[in-house]
A and B are shown apart, each in its own frame.
Chain A
Amino acid sequence: MSDRCGTGGVPSISSSALAKLGGEVSPVPERTPSPGTPGGAPETPESAATSLKQLGEMRTPPAPQSNIHVMTIIGQIEGHIVLPPQNKSTKYEHVIPQLVAVEQNPAIEGLLVVLNTVGGDVEAGLAIAEMIESMSKPSVSLVLGGGHSIALPVAVSCKYRLIASTATVTVHPLRLSGLVIGVPQTYEYLEKMQDRVIKFVAEHTRISPEKFRELMFRTGELVRDVGTVLVGSDAVNLGLMDAVGGLSDALAALNRMIEERRAGRAEVAGREAARLQ
């Protein structure tokens, strides 16, 4: 048995494993060729095992464990109702505990949120935005394609926000494409819901609530609707996003923030150690 274990750390396939693979392998006697004679080995079941091993599937080398977590928010942000399967959706009941895990897991040091979203449930979107906003770990958002409607609060909830130069953000009122299920759809109610979105965006960006409301109700940009379409740099100029950029910019910003956080923590730890001495 010691022979078997000593063949350069490569586990040999046992007879039972062979039987599982081939199905018609006669029981292998407990006899092993001496290690270190790989070439020209006689046709023993053991060499059959070796060739079987060599024919096995190709495996890509395991990727090193990353210290960032990428969260892609795509399609509709799904709320309390499971949307029909033709929708691609981001499920908030999964994303929220995932954010808890990201905050709690010591191996994860930063969060990259990639958005390409057409909107979705107001409360689910605001819930995700509030969760990301209240995280202590660095977060960077990257808007690609589109970050419309409720995606905007999610995008601005990150500590640093980037938008691709061709990406668009549609700012429009809740009233015209909103739907209330099971709640009396009064104007005041929708107004209140809308104020939550405006308040969140205004609090976390350089835009004023008045200016954001103006963008929401601007006429002439959308054919049958009021609202504004902001392309890449428009969103930056209005103060909604921090910069126009792409993947490398997002990762560079995130890594820089991670480094700063590490340095800050090291400094605090150093001061604490000095205090205790």
Chain B
Amino acid sequence: MILYTVLPLELVLEGIDRERTFTDVEINGITMTVEQVSANEAVIVRIISTDPQHFLDPALQPGSRVRLTPSLVGRGRVLPRG
């Protein structure tokens, strides 16, 4: 990668060694890479789709926030009451 920029490189690359974790999630049938910012919110980093119209959707622009709703994995078991 070659950066061709008028900004000093130390300014551009400051903090590049900081660890960032990205996860892939599927929301409304669209796979996207997100960066989790809080327990139930994430920011879209990139859309993974073969439908070009998805890339025009204002809600799907990188930087948009998505809400992640926690749900139970597995079927669980009904405990007897009382």
Contacts and interface: CB of A to CB of B under 8 A. Distances in A.
Interface of A: 69, 76, 79-87, 91, 93-94, 97-98, 100-102, 104-105, 118-123, 125, 146, 148-150, 170, 172, 174, 177-183, 190, 193, 197
B55 A121 contact: no
A86 B15 contact: yes
A172 B6 contact: yes
Interface in B1-20: 1-9, 12-16, 18, 20
Give the residue among B5, B8, B9, B16 with the most A Cβ atoms within 10 A. B5
Given A81-B16, A91-B46, A178-B3, 18 more contacts: A76-B5, A83-B12, A86-B14, A94-B46, A94-B61, A119-B3, A119-B4, A119-B6, A119-B7, A123-B1, A123-B2, A125-B4, A149-B5, A150-B4, A177-B9, A180-B2, A181-B1, A190-B2
Contact of B53 (A79, A84, A101, A121): A101
Nearest to A91: B62
B45 interface: yes
A198 to B, nearest CB: 12
6 contacts: A100-B55, A119-B7, A172-B6, A179-B9, A180-B2, A197-B4
B80 interface: no
Contacts of B3: 76, 79, 119-122, 177-179
Contact of A97 (B1, B5, B12, B52): B52
Nearest to A222: B6
A182 B2 CA distance: 10
A80 B15 CA distance: 17
A84 B16 contact: yes
A188 to B, nearest CB: 14
A218 B2 CA distance: 22
B35 to A, nearest CB: 9
B5 A98 contact: no
- Using C-beta atoms within 8 Å of the partner chain, give the interface range for chain B: 20 to 34
A98 B47 CA distance: 11
Contacts of A69: 56
Given A79-B1, A87-B12, A101 B56 contact: yes
Interface of B: 1-9, 12-16, 18, 20, 45-47, 49, 52-56, 61-62
Nearest to A120: B5
Contacts of B12: 76, 83-84, 87
A93 B7 CA distance: 22
B58 to A, nearest CB: 11
A122 B46 CA distance: 20
Contacts of B9: 177, 179
A137 to B, nearest CB: 14
Given A84-B15, A87-B12, A174 B2 contact: yes
A79 B61 CA distance: 17
B62 A84 contact: no
Contacts of A100: 52, 55
Given A84-B14, A179-B9, A120 B4 contact: yes
Given A69-B56, A97-B52, A149 B47 contact: no
Contacts of A94: 46-47, 55, 61-62
Contacts of A91: 46, 62
A122 B15 CA distance: 21
